[in-house]
Structure 1
Amino acid sequence: MIEQQQNNPLHGLGLETLVTELVAFYDWKILYAALRLECFNSNPNMAACLKFLKKTEWARERVESFYLYRFKRMPKGSSVQFELKPRERGFADGIVPRKPEELTVELVDEMRAKATADYEAMKRNDGQGRPRYGKDKPKAQDGYAQNKRTNTNRPAPSQDPANPWGK
């Protein structure tokens, strides 16, 4: 276990030390803007924050991921690595943490807006990096427009529940 965790900056780091380092560098307001956890916003203090993070696993994992990838600026791992909890992830030999990323509330808001726009663009492009219907062809505005009948010579479906095929 120690050999697997040797290259993880979270190994041996207590939650109190982790939060103390983050608060000392970023301040409560920036942590709230970046992580959107109320323990950093409403009456922020170390005791209440630690109590919340110890009880709430998803919030603790969010803070640990922020510590790894924003504060220590470790390289992003593969999708397999991201399925693991932050404390279980490992990094290749020789990778050392870098200087923390400078953040402001405004910068965090800009990053969040860009991420939202990128996500919306990816959804429109079906996640393939290219438009679903080609660059020149506009997409349908609603889901039903794609299924509009183009051949009106065909008979309409039967309205009779006893004979759904209309024959």
Structure 2
Amino acid sequence: MKKRLLSAALALALAAACLTGCGAASEEKTVAKALGLEKLPAVTHISSYDSHGGFLGDGVSCIALTFEDDQLEQQLAADPDWHSLPADETVQALVWGVEDGTVSTGPCLTDGDGQPLVPPVEKGCYRLIDRHSDQQGDILSRGSFNFTVGVYDAEARVLYCCELDT
């Protein structure tokens, strides 16, 4: 009986260790795929937020990956889909929000307390991928959102990959 219990406990511990290790690799692959990146340099830290799971999978998610060197910055600088900061008005509104006198728009990428998931970034680059089925017109004037935004903070060496589905 003790042998079976010990074997079961060992198997459970091994399975948990495998799943934990796979989770980090899975998030790195998720970010690479979502942002159209072939390969990511070595990641030193991962954090994530995800509220998906509501009606039809609606929600917001954000994965932040920290890198030890500037290899990713060089890769993004060579990619024409990535643009230097400061962000255009659309990305500014979606990620950090904008105020124009009496009208404010966004931010759309916020946590459960309404706080932006991406801190202000001054030096780096960004990419907006519109995943909406109807891509006619300005993204900010639509009744629903389906987009992915990547923001790379060159000073902190952090890549933020955020998605919003409504």
**TM-score category of the 2 structures, normalised to the smaller one:** under 0.3
**Hey, which of these two has a bigger chunk of helix by percent?**
1
Q: Which has the larger radius of gyration?
A: 1
**TM-score where L is the length of structure 1:** 0.24
**TM-score where L is the length of structure 2:** 0.24
